[in-house]
Amino acid sequence: MWLVYKGSGVPEHYGIHAADPRGVLPDQVHGLLVVSNTAIAKADDALRALIDTSAPIDVVGHSITIFRRP
């Protein structure tokens, strides 16, 4: 799972193990891409490209969107 989130919570504390997709080449990002809606609103070109080539599959609490990447 790939996660773009900025907040005070530590995802690992809740059993969420994810990597930041902004630290790898785009062609390495497969599977679930989970992005806070704040990060989507502020997305740079690289993150925007990942989002635009992903399929949204769910929204969690009106604050996080889950995408599926090929």
Does residue 68 register a pLDDT over 90? yes
pLDDT of residue 6: 83
Q: Is the pLDDT of residue 10 over 90?
A: no
Phi, psi of 5 (to 5 degrees): -155, 140
How many residues appear in the chain? Answer: 70
Structure confidence at residue 31 (pLDDT): 97
Q: Bridge partners of 55?
A: 68
The pLDDT of residue 8 = 79
pTM of the prediction?
0.90
If you average pLDDT over residues 36-59, what whole number do you get? 96
